[in-house]
Amino acid sequence: MKAEELSHYGPSICVKFHGDYVVAGYGVYIHVYEVKSGKLVNQSQIFHKNKVHGLAIQKGLILAYGARSVSIVPWERVLKYSDNCGLEKMCPEWIISAEFSFNRSSVFLLTSYNKVLCCDLELTVKSTKAVFGERAILYSGTITVHNDDKVMVNAGTVMDGIFVWDLFSEQTQHHFTDHEGSIFYVTASDDGKFLASCSDDRSIKLWDLSSGKLVSTGWGHAARIWNLQFFGENCDKLISVSEDCTCRVWDVCQQGEDLQQMDIFEVHLSKNVWGVDVDSERMIAVTSGNDGRIKLTDLLLKSRSGDESELFSMDDIRSHGIDLQSNEIVKGFYWLEFGLVVMTSEGRVLQYNQETLKWSSLLIDRKFARYSTTSGVQEFEIVIFAGGDCDLLILKFSKDGELLKRKSSHVEALSKSTMCLVDHEGENFIVALQSPNEREPLYCVKFNGESLEEEAHFCFAKPANFNSSSILYHRNFLILGSRYSTLVVFDLQHSNSPPMILNRILPGDAITSIRFVEATIDGHSLFSVTDRDGYYCFVSLELGGMGSDIVLVNKTSKGFLEGAYYDERGDYITYGFRSNTFGIYNETKQFDITSVLCGGSHRQWKFLPNFGSEEFVLIYVKASCINLRRFHKSVTSIALRNGLHGREIRDLTICPNKYGDNDHIFCSGAEDTTIKLNRLEGVTGMTKTVWTLRKHTSGLQRCKFVSDEYMISSAAREELYLWKVSTMYDSNPYIKILATLPPSTEIPDLRIMDFDVKFIEGTNDFLLVTVYSDSAIKVWFYGQKSEKFTLLGEGKYETCCLLNISLVVLADRLVIVVSPTDGHLVIWDLTDSTPVYVKDQKVYWKPTDFSTPLQLPFYLMRLHVHSAGIKTLQVRVLSANAFLVYTGGDDNAVAISEFVTQRGKSGIVGRVLDCQTAGAASTITSVNLLNNGANLITASVDQKLRYYNVSGNSLALKDVLYTTNADTGCVDVTPSATNGSIVLVAGVGFSAWHLDHEDS
Amino acid sequence: MGKSSKDKRDLYYRKAKEQGFRARSAFKLLQLDEQFHFLDNVTRVVDLCAAPGSWSQVLSRRLFEGDTEDNASKRIVAVDLQPMFPIDNVTTIQADITHPKTLNKIMDLFEGEKADFVCSDGAPDVTGLHDLDEYVQQQLILSALQLTTCLLREGGVFVAKIFRGRDIDMLYSQLSYLFERVVCAKPRSSRGTSLESFVVCIGYKPPQNWKPCLDVNMSVEDFFQGCEIGRLSLSDKLPDYKEEPRSIAEFISCGGLDSFDSDATY
Ligand SMILES: C[S@@+](CC[C@H](N)C(=O)[O-])C[C@H]1O[C@@H](n2cnc3c(N)ncnc32)[C@H](O)[C@@H]1O
């Protein structure tokens, strides 16, 4: 067997800027990225097994260390070669920190017992240094090299604070004890003035190294802090990263007891940012975290270009010679290429030219005094004002702000207008006017975008409760989003036919945006819809027909939603308000792009493209001033690498349906309670998350595809969802919930440990069996039509927790195999206690009344296989009356057991065929058959994958692979395009392997 | 190390309350002893990483309750970073067990006598960096082992909490140089969902050609230099990467199938 790790995503513990590059420790690898382009230049393996925990870079050499491994690798080799493991050396103790000497001819290795090994560049130890009597274990430490004669060691202990000692004299200079608990990081500023430290007490302390005094303490992080770096021209700033996923900037130069926090950025997912560095020249920070993400943060994001924000009070506008009334206020605005157009409460139209920085008054039309709405079409350089008495004023400008055309019109069909929505397509735009009177129609006018000539008008009868808030004009259809999350589709070609109405497509209320995504092969069109309450969905509509299908519903973690779109890279970008900020968020990659403190959503605002690629303008009124905030494209790429989950992945499952020709789709469920739908490129193993689903409220237990398109996930609190995955769209795969398993009580506290499914022959209905942490077993029926689960029967094993379940169909019987924590495999015969019958190993529905759930019988038999809980099992049906169960347990054992039914008898006979008690050094968490059952692969917490030949009744170990993913918990396998297997392995981190089963 | 809200629901938590134990961990020691009987006839013991003190309570009850003769020669020393409320017949020290000075203090309390049993239920501040956490955990065990080699009588028993992670088999291998039998035991009161188990090392056999020697200026690693426990020794040149000896210890689940399952919801 030949094995190759195709890709790995997992914790990155250290990052460093080096010229135009970012160098990151990434598992056993070093990654080198180009800052500008964000491109991965090379991935080079540095250590055989240990993770790279730290780096020092000098004079063309990289000094990398991690655990007890250390290596000095020429920079050229790191850039060019994929394997540099040959240079790895072993240190007898864990290396806490390492640095080059001042003249770069040697290196210092600070080890975990507060000793420094002074080595030459061949890593021969020339001398060792330590402070007499201070040899307790360290949690942290750094080395500050001042010159050839002065090197200071900053050591952080478990309970004795910080020791700062002189390397060459081996004398303690400072012993700081003001922190509580273990010191997690300590570092000195380059100029030797300050020391900064953090501990279990969640504070940052700044110490004056000349006086030996505590200068200030910084509070703010909501969890432990892992790393600190001084930066800035005069080391006058400090950056910190924490378990709370943020990085914060602190002002070192201030006076007073409190270290002042200057800025905060949310940079990583769910838990733990480990590494941080700052390029003080470019003022960019790089961080790395447990989520496998390497992220750049522009520390000057809010001020970099200088024209980001402008603010105009009414007096500012007056100072341009405009005679505004004393009580005149802004009523609306719109952004065009030349700048801003504003409507005031006097019906005055103002214009601001961003080139000349001049305000001018264009006209006054009293019809728009008091009440007006302002909208426009950027593509046509048009602004549209609608007055309360159904007057329209349309102004068309040249690119540099000259008024080209002006058109006024009045709509007779309505008595009043309170809402005016505008959208365009092709050469035209449509203005939809809505009256507060329910009986009055929705009145729409179609204009030509060039001539402003009216081309057609439409009168639509409004459905009940119609109160539109967003519009999309698409291919002769007008789609309006209304209150109660209702979509109404009007056909412009058949304006008399009743509209298509989709009620309650989202849990929230007002629909804030509708966007066209793609036309699909079945003639439908896919749209993205957002609502103000933070939900979004993708809905497929048969325009001109009646068909519709919601393919995804999700909620952003980022407050309210005002809109969303796919960007150039295919990332789904959302924007909206969250308490008092407006933010733009990359929902696909799950990070903040930018945010503005604007005082919240209850104000006039518009968010529009800024006539440049991926640039935007937010215009809002705050304290009767007009604020203009431009969002420029970032100076760097934002994420150099995106990982998957921030916490342990508990389970993963590959969709039997491929996505396109080469991509696989898989779902992963983690401790962080999210389920992610991911795409995996079959050849390279490159993986990216497409959707992050926040439906579960507790840590995931299981997720499993049960058919080509159905996936089930389970968790604590009796949560179980049935999901449907759609793979027919080009833009992305989509996923939504079809059904929810009803919990047994109002405050459920049981964990659904596992489940299994068998489909009723020839239908999409299925039987579901769930097992629980209180030893309960439940049997359910899922009806595709009703989209509901019905409880058919329940039973109990004993009192212990049940870990796994498998449904097995034999000749004429339906049995379940359950593994409790007591090491048994327990068999029940469900044939007579469920309304199904089994024939030729197929399950059929037996029409019966099952209004009261049946009691499951006592178990048929049980077989003691493991001496502790069976963590994983896989069943292989051998024949109509026999099956094998492959198991792995907490007792480190891997076993095969055989179960046989006897003709004419109801019993089942089981026996253990093979049990390898030393199947791993730790808990076996996954067994998977592959290569059509010829091989078995196990995963265990000792971070090993063991590959067996399965021959008859026994297992023969063929290969042991090492995985970087700690807490190795789950594996899934699928055939690869080249007759091998793709194996996905996850725990803390994720890897994709390719196995070639041919013996080489 | 589950969440505290879960602990509240836990049966062992309730049982501990009923029986006056400070922590549910008491049952881990009790179930281990039920299996191995290592507390039969012991008189002098060390409980490392002992706070809040439920193991010390078990030990105190076992050594001092009922039988009152020879109490003078009996001794229980408990050590932790955290302060501990007093327990009858237990001498407590607040200190870091990785600090060589701490071991000296304990030795002093034994006044040259040997101990019959050393245990450590230590767990470090878990950072979430699995390799670091496992290393620190193993260092706690090695510190305990350091004391053990200085203090434990031949044939004595050493018990320590382990997390069965990546390098656990390296620890098994090291321990097997010093003890006749090394078992990995998992009490039923320890959650199956946690990586926690206990290494039970039976029959201490001090190495022939190595004399343990506590020195306040030596780290745990320095201490074991020259002792053939399969660890790297410090030569002038840092050696190339090589796999160190590993072995898999026998696994025993203890507490009996009739005892409560700590993974179950009751
Ligand atoms: C699980 S608790 C022990 C519970 C105890 N056996 C009982 O039954 O109450 C782990 C203890 O290890 C202690 N510990 C961790 N590192 C230590 C060190 N370096 N020195 C001493 N104690 C330590 C912690 O303070 C903590 O109280």
In the stretch 818-837 of chain A, residues with CB closer than 8 A to chain B read 820-823
- A736 and A673: one domain? yes
Q: Is the pLDDT of residue A713 over 90?
A: yes
- Is residue A356 situated within a structural domain? yes
Strand order in the sheet with A535-541: A511-519, A525-531, A535-541, A548-555
Are A314 and A422 part of one and the same domain? yes
Q: Are residues A96 and A82 in the same domain?
A: no
State yes or no: pLDDT of A558 exceeds 70: yes
Place B235 in a pLDDT band, splitting at 50, 70 and 90. Answer: low
* CB atoms closer than 10 angstroms to residue B142: 24
Whether A969 is in a domain gets the answer no
Q: Are residues A131 and A278 in the same domain?
A: no
CATH number reported for the structural domain that contains residue A690 in this entry: 2.130.10.10
Residues A379 and A242 in one domain: no
Asked if the peptide bond before residue A656 counts as cis, ω within 30 degrees of 0, the response is no
A56: amino acid identity, one letter: A
- Name the closest-CA residue to atom 27, ligand 1: B51
Count how many domains chain A has. 5
pLDDT tens per residue, range B241-258: 988 888 999 999 888 766
Helix (H) or strand (E) holding A92: none
Q: Are residues A672 and A732 in the same domain?
A: yes
Residue B7's pLDDT band (cuts 50, 70, 90): very low
Domain contains A869: no
H or E segment to which residue B58 belongs: helix B54-64
Structural domain boundaries enclosing A45: 11-90
Residues contacting residue A890 through CB under 8 Å, at least 6 positions apart: A866, A868, A869, A870, A871, A923, A924, B186, B192, B253
| pLDDT digit string, tens, across residues A361-393 | 999 999 999 899 999 999 999 999 999 999 999
Task: Write the CA distances from A323 to A120, A363, A365, integer angstroms.
Answer: 78, 12, 15
Residue B97 in contact with ligand 1 by CB distance below 6 A: yes
In 3D space, the residue among A109, A99, A98, A96 whose CA is nearest the CA of residue A184 turns out to be A96
Residue-wise pLDDT tens digits, A510-551: 999 999 999 988 889 999 999 999 999 999 999 988 899 999
Residue predicted with more confidence, A899 or A636: A899
Is residue A499 in some structural domain? no
* Chain A residue with minimum CA distance to B266: A774
Question: What CATH number does the domain containing A34 carry?
Answer: 2.40.128.630
Same domain, A352 and A409: yes
pLDDT at B233 exceeding the cut of 60: no
Final residue in a domain of this structure, among A301, A334, A362: A301
Contact residues, chain A, for B260 at CB < 8 Å: 799
Residue B226's pLDDT is what? 72
In DSSP terms, which residues pair with A148 in a beta bridge?
Answer: none
β-pairing verdict for A700-705 and A687-693: unpaired
Report yes or no on A709 lying in a domain: yes
Closest CA to B213 of B149, B152, B120: B149
Q: Is the pLDDT of residue B112 over 50?
A: yes
Which of A437, A462, A487 marks a domain boundary? A462
Which of A462, A489, A506 corresponds to the end of one domain? A462
- Give domain status of residue A892, yes or no: no
Same domain for A329 and A283: no
Give chain B's largest Cα–Cα span.
59
Residue A207 confidence (pLDDT) above 90: yes
Q: B188: nearest CA in chain A? A: A868
Q: Are residues A319 and A446 in the same domain?
A: yes
- Single out the residue of A832, A820, A808, A697 nearest to residue A754, CA to CA: A820
Domain-located, residue A158: yes
> Which residues of chain A lie closer than 8 angstroms to B265, CB-CB?
749-751, 772-774, 801
pLDDT given for residue A716 in this prediction = 93
Across the interface, whether the CB atoms of A988 and B172 are under 8 A apart is answered: no
Q: Are A212 and A286 in a shared domain?
A: yes
Among A113, A158, A183, A200, the mutation site with the greatest number of ligand 1 atoms within 8 A of its Cβ is A158
The pLDDT, as a whole number, for residue B227 is 74
| Of A472-481, A779-788, B222-231, minimum mean pLDDT range | B222-231
Instruction: Based on the fold, state whether residues A312 and A430 are members of the same structural domain.
Output: yes
A318 and A369 belong to one structural domain: yes
pLDDT confidence bin for A859, thresholds 50/70/90: very high
In a domain, A857, yes or no: no
> Are the beta carbons of B130 and A966 separated by less than 8 Å?
yes
ipTM of the complex: 0.92
**B245: Cα separation from own chain's centroid:** 22
Chain B residues within 8 A of A967 when measuring between CB atoms:
130, 195
pLDDT digits (tens, 9 = 90+) for A723-736: 999 999 999 999 99
